[in-house]
A and B are shown apart, each in its own frame.
Chain A
């Protein structure tokens, strides 16, 4: 089996998927913890604010989903459609998959943490003025932009760049 830097293509692909899921998951868990702490304080004083607070608390969770989507894409879309399956994947092609997963892994981790911190401010707005819930959600949603862009980049890299490279390598 052809390896790259000591790892097979399958190993590199697994590593890429794992890093994407771990990065997104850590970021989301931290982000949600920050805002959920504040939200629990607000709800102690004013339980009626559960509805408007829920989207603000949930929004840092999306990065974890992006990491999961990346992991699923690697598992189902990037699997070589030739005899031998993953074992046929050359080491260098697996490395390409790993590189393509990095935007989601890093960007989703960092952006979810900062989105959690931004959501804390937004939750404060909701606590004071319930009618501001819509506007409050826009501010952390701006941080989301960069997580979405990283997911789009990872998907484009996997489908447009890595997949054809794998097909070409397997044909050769």
Chain B
């Protein structure tokens, strides 16, 4: 055998003998071939379940109907079983939470174990619950907990706040930042949101899915815009914005900080030009802040739904599954808005203004 002067690397204790990265074939690098294997089963189930989603036609009937008629119409879809006999707002919420829980359990059941999609959806409830628990320790009120929806149970989160080692690293980092800075309830809210959005982006990057990354980054942009408006209203300084703005969006954090100190008109113009339609930016003007932010939330939801709908042309992969779960979430939001509107005697026209775009066209 010829001696080519090559000597194999020495393996130190504990090192494994593996091929270098470029020599190791990875099925996930051949994405279009591996996706049908990873997500094929889930996509198959989704294709059938999609035909049971709330349609725009049914939605219009719901808006026009009175409360009891609306419950009858909902009997035609799966949601009806969960809302049977609901007479007050609390019962509607309980039914809708049960329904969402079942949607997420189905998602968990059909996805491969290494998929981040379940975390992508459920982490929101964990961060929300952490926020509620933390704030309740500051002001004594514990309102709005969403038990059973997150990755972790409420009790586990409570224990985690006292003993952060028990929590996943992303949750722990959020708690540590809040404890160190000794923030007010409102600031806690914003910092927790920042960690939630960063965590979702981290999950999307780990999954190496272009659509998921795009979604997470767009959501960060909108969260930052909302933070800017709230920050200006509260008269917060640049340092505070530095603390709460989320990195990783398409609009750079530094650019946003620069715009933050500029007059409204200039800021709106610059943001409108930067990326998003000027109709989205119009929320910054107008008189009533609550109305503006509610309207902004609706427009953001519609924009994100449009983004999700665009991914529908992908026949197999994570995108159709994401679209389905998003469709179910929007369904819950829309049905809640309609039923609460009916319970508060709002007119169909007023309800229609608040309703979000559905996944099904």
**A residues touching B (Cβ–Cβ < 8 Å)?**
30, 33-46, 113, 116-117, 120-121, 123-124, 127-128
Contact = CB atoms under 8 A, between A and B. Distances in A.
A120 B39 CA distance: 11
Contacts of A120: 36, 40, 43, 315-316
A11 to B, nearest CB: 28
B51 interface: yes
A44 B51 contact: no
Given A41-B110, A117-B36, 15 more contacts: A33-B36, A34-B36, A34-B316, A37-B37, A38-B43, A39-B44, A41-B44, A41-B47, A42-B44, A116-B36, A117-B316, A124-B43, A127-B47, A127-B51, A128-B47
B316 A30 contact: no
Nearest to B110: A41
Nearest to B49: A45
A44 B44 contact: yes
Interface residues of B, number: 19
B48 A42 contact: yes
B191 interface: no
A46 B51 CA distance: 12
Contacts of B49: 45
Interface string B129-144: 0000000000000000
A40 B32 contact: no
A67 to B, nearest CB: 20
7 cross-chain pairs, A with B, having the tightest CB-CB distances, nearest first: A41-B44, A37-B40, A127-B47, A45-B48, A34-B36, A38-B44, A41-B45
Interface in B276-325: 315-316
Contacts of B50: 128
A33 B38 CA distance: 11
Contact of A38 (B32, B33, B41, B51): B41
Nearest to A118: B315
A118 B29 CA distance: 20
Given A38-B43, A41-B43, A33 B315 contact: no
Q: Is the interface of A mostly helix, strand, loop or mixed?
A: helix
Contacts of A30: 33
19 contacts: A34-B40, A35-B36, A36-B40, A38-B41, A41-B40, A41-B41, A41-B42, A41-B47, A42-B44, A44-B41, A46-B48, A120-B36, A120-B43, A121-B315, A121-B316, A124-B43, A124-B315, A127-B48, A128-B48
Given A37-B40, A41-B41, A123 B33 contact: no
Interface string B208-225: 000000000000000000
A123 B37 contact: no
Contacts of A39: 44
Interface string B99-134: 000000000001000000000000000000000000
Nearest to B313: A121
Given A30-B33, A117-B32, A38 B316 contact: yes
A36 B61 CA distance: 39
A41 B36 contact: no
B244 interface: no
A38 B36 contact: yes
B190 interface: no
B358 interface: no
A43 B44 CA distance: 8
Contacts of B43: 38, 41, 120, 124
Contacts of B51: 127-128
Contacts of B355: none
